[in-house]
Structure 1
Amino acid sequence: MTKSNEKIDAPKSHVFVSGAVAGLFSRFVISPLDVIKIRLQLQAHGNPSTLPPPPTSGPTYRGILGTARQIVVQEGIRGLWKGNIPAELLYISYGPVQFIALKECTLLMQHGAPWIKEDVRNLIAGSIAGATATMVTYPLDLLRTRFAAQGNERVYPSIMYSLRHIWKHEGVKGFYRGVGAGVVQVTPLTGIFFCTYEFLRTLSISSLNLPEQTSNFLSAGFASTFSKTVVFPFDLVRKRLQVQGPTRQQYVHRNIPLYVGILGTIKDIVKMEGVRGLYKGLTVSLIKAAPLSAVTMWTLEYSLAVCNWIDPPERREVA
């Protein structure tokens, strides 16, 4: 039985636990890079080296190391982990929902449409799984962005306060600002990632004779880098839309423009910041993407192996 089939045949409890462990561990490791990426994405003015921002716009970040240094100096080392609690909750829930949805979609197509080619099946199942997980966990993603965008003057002192404040002043729709961009981003992203990952993993094992764990690590890293580059502008649009609302000018960047809709946001960014404005934070996103996805998939494989060791298939068949 291949590793891919083991994931499909694994009980839901194994998939749920393994997905949660993988998401929790990887989220903590890359949290500083995530905060840096969000700060760069929300920096709405032009090239900071040639176009100085208005005096009330907040800090000007230049590069990954410069941004990290400025955050630590102005906000302390804990500033690099702002938004980590909702982010942990996001990844704990996102991973299990994603992998369970992937399993169910794959099984449904295997039995209901067996004529569909495996690569196409992986693409469809991965896309549906990503869209489902995004919709279910989106409020946590929004909270992660808003907490990471806070400077020393906090908009939300706690998660409970943020929930009450958003509910009172923005309603249910406030928790889903930018969800359309999120779905547009993650649907092809997840599909391309899983399809590329499974293809490269199988190829590297059969043709290059790489050890299985090495193959999983390298395949996940390359697949993530490739897929994230394709859809990155929608990630930036999602971040800009997530901080809209009554608190828009209270974050560390106080000059965030007013945006309406996905296409309107793209149009405004290109007009004010150029096409390059759609790719702010891409470098740190790519640096983050490879270790994040590789660690996630690597941890997932090991967690599933541990679950199967504790509760082997033979015992389940007897039961």
Structure 2
Amino acid sequence: MVLGYDPDRLSGSTFLHHLASGTLGGIVTRSVISPFDVVKIRFQLQSEAGLARRYTGLIQATKVIFRDEGITAFWKGHIPAQMLSMVYGGVQFGSFEFFTVVVHQLIMHSKQETMKQMTTHGVCGAASAVVATFASQPLDVLRTRFAAQTEPKRFSSSFRATTYMVKNEGLFSLYRGLTPSIIQIAPFSLVQFGSRSMFEAVWLSYNFKEGSACEFVCGGGAGLFAKTLVYPLDVVKKRLQIQGFIAPTVSEIQNYTSFIHCFKTIWRHEGVMAFYKGYKAAALKSTITSGLVFATYRFFRELLEPLRTGNR
């Protein structure tokens, strides 16, 4: 097992090694899943309060975006999104590995049973996700606003968008949606990391080999399971992040005063199924993303290991 602290694997890996592996994995993952993210965000931001729906299905939405905005539209906001993945992936895996070492030292046992390992990985995954979210939230807000823009675009660079937001909306506009982000990401990562360990144990019980295939399958299943549970919080987060945005977007922007107000308004005016807008794109994206995240982290960690040990 490569993920998490293992007393039987005394490689002496460092925080920087984990940070670099998570960062490189984030770059590869983001490049692949960006189109799914753009489609998902378009659905999440689409309000049905008195307006005809522009997007009615996954394939239809893909065709409309391609027809009206071109192929590059599927990578709108890719620079802040790429920066987001780099920061989030690096900080998350770096802090996750650190937390698993701390937990092992506190519990003082030499070998973790499957249930203990699931619990440890789940708790450490949640804690590391919270740390990574604080570090990357401004980039997430920028990514959402760029992905929401239609033509003509108001912002052409992350610097201009950041400058405008700070000047006209205040510094804390960069942290819009932080509350639902934390509320969403903590249980998501708890379930994701914990269930990944469970799926890995099942995988190995059938005498399948460890490796990238194991990480992709187990990580992908964990991502799908976790996303299904917490998806409504992601919709609320996206609606809050778009507040104050005056550029042309995919739908009329509704005004929300808080997380609770946003949740109640969506429930009252759009119904419970509105909390699963864009779910198909999100489920597909989450499965692929989670699988790639764990597979690429393992790949780069093993790739960088000889370089790291060779420089000691």
Give yes or no for TM over 0.5. yes
Amino acid at match of 1:161: R
Tell me which residue corresponds to 1:49: none
Match of 2:26 among 23, 26, 35: 23
Task: Give the letter aligned to residue 234 of structure 2.
Answer: D
Letter in 2 for 1:32: P
Aligned pairs (5 A) from 1:161-172: 161-172=160-171
The equivalent residue for 1:224 is 223
Q: 1:109: which partner in 2?
A: 103
Alignment partner of 1:32 out of 35, 58, 65: 35
Over 3 Å counting, the alpha-carbon distance change for 1:8 and 1:44 in structure 2 is farther
Residue 260 (structure 1) aligns with: 257
Matched, 1:75 2:69: yes
Distance in structure 2 (CA, Å) of the matches to 1:176 and 1:155: 20
Deviation at 1:203, TM superposition (A): 2.6
Instruction: Kindly provide the CA deviation profile for residues 269-290 of structure 1, in whole angstroms up to 9, marking residues without a partner as x.
Output: 0111100011101111011111
Identical columns (%): 31
The alignment partner of 1:311 has SS state of helix
Q: What is the aligned partner in structure 1 of residue 128 from structure 2?
A: 129
Figure out how many residues of one structure are paired with residues of the other and give that number.
302
Within 1, Cα distance between the matches of 2:10 and 2:91?
14
* Structure 1 runs, 4 residues or longer, greater than 4 Å off: 6-9
Residue pair 2:232, 2:275 contacting (<8 A) in 1 also: yes
Q: What CA distance in whole angstroms lies between the structure 2 residues aligned with 1:125 and 1:311? A: 25
SS of 1:96's equivalent?
A: helix
User: Taking structure 1 as the reference length, what is the TM-score of the superposition?
Assistant: 0.90
Q: CA RMSD in A?
A: 1.9
- Equivalent pair of 2:227/2:283 in contact (CA under 8 Å): yes
| 1:276 and 2:273 correspond | yes
- Secondary structure of 1:212's match? coil
Alpha-carbon separation, structure 2, partners of 1:293 and 1:43: 25
| In structure 2, distance between residues paired with 1:8 and 1:85 | 34
Q: What's 2:16 paired with?
A: 13
CA distance in 2, matches of 1:118, 1:300: 19
Which residue pairs with 1:152 in the alignment?
151
Secondary structure, counterpart of 2:152 in structure 1: coil
What SS is found at the alignment partner of 1:209?
A: coil
Deviation at 1:253, TM superposition (A): 2.7
Q: C-alpha distance in 1, partners of 2:62/2:20?
A: 33
